[in-house]
Chain A
Amino acid sequence: GDSVTQMEGPVTLSEEAFLTINCTYTATGYPSLFWYVQYPGEGLQLLLKATKADDKGSNKGFEATYRKETTSFHLEKGSVQVSDSAVYFCALLDSSYKLIFGSGTRLLVRP
């Protein structure tokens, strides 16, 4: 079945550092891909998405490119802030419109 694999955390960075969180997927066809963010004790917020190969999703300085060749959707940000500290989930939308999530990557940004 479809699956998503994320790099394990926690990822600890200093403020203004460059962020990469790796995400790869296994799926039949070309599913829409998403990054969601979860702050402590809260639900998931959509961060960005891409619906087809080579699409780049972007929001709040974060971006990710849908790479069909490498089945990847890595999340990047050029300069992280303390307020970016959260858990980030990569997900794909399967053929029945169900989201399949990775296990999440915790990001901790130190001042």
Chain B
Amino acid sequence: EAEVAQSPRYKITEKSQAVAFWCDPISGHATLYWYRQILGQGPELLVQFQDESVVDDSQLPKDRFSAERLKGVDSTLKIQPAELGDSAMYLCASSTPRGGNTDTQYFGPGTRLTVL
């Protein structure tokens, strides 16, 4: 069964450092999402891509966060500089096989970020 891949699974960094997370969606999925999940809370959307275009980045802290999906396949989320409050699980999801059901999002295993 196809899965969403993410790396690294765990990342520990010091504040003010730069970090990057990678996501490879299910093959053929046009829509890619990055969510942030703070411990004890539900995930919240950071950015949504349709192919290589950003559809929604209204909740992305653009002074320090950036996201790209250059060829409309895999994606990178970057934080520079990291702050203590960025400690969270970063989840990637994909959906919308072309011509298929647009409802269901499939999630990767996530990257657990700890900022010291």
Chain A interface size, as a band, is 20 to 34
A46 near B106: Cβ-Cβ < 8 Å: yes
Across the interface, B103 reaches (CB within 8 A) one of A43, A51, A89, A101, namely A51
A99 near B43: Cβ-Cβ < 8 Å: yes
Residues of B within 8 A of A (CB): 4, 6, 31, 33, 35, 40-45, 48, 55-56, 91, 93, 95-96, 102-110, 112
B42 near A43: Cβ-Cβ < 8 Å: no
Q: Which of B35, B95, B102, B103 has the most CB of A within 10 A?
A: B103
Contacts of A93 in B (CB 8 A): 103
Q: How far is the CA of A84 from the CA of B56 in the complex (A)?
A: 34
A97 near B110: Cβ-Cβ < 8 Å: no
Q: How far is the CA of A32 from the CA of B105 in the complex (A)?
A: 12
A sample of 8 inter-chain contacts (CB < 8 A) reads A34-B104, A42-B109, A44-B91, A89-B42, A97-B95, A97-B96, A99-B105, A103-B42
* With A96-B56, A97-B31 as contacts: A91 and B106 at CB distance below 8 Å: no
Contacts of B112 in A (CB 8 A): 41
Q: How far is the CA of A104 from the CA of B37 in the complex (A)?
A: 11
Contacts of B6 in A (CB 8 A): 43
Contacts of B44 in A (CB 8 A): 101
Contacts of B93 in A (CB 8 A): 44, 99
B103 near A49: Cβ-Cβ < 8 Å: yes
Q: Which of A1-57 contact B (CB under 8 A)?
A: 4, 32, 34, 36, 41-46, 49, 51
A98 near B103: Cβ-Cβ < 8 Å: no
Across the interface, B102 reaches (CB within 8 A) one of A46, A91, A97, A99, namely A97
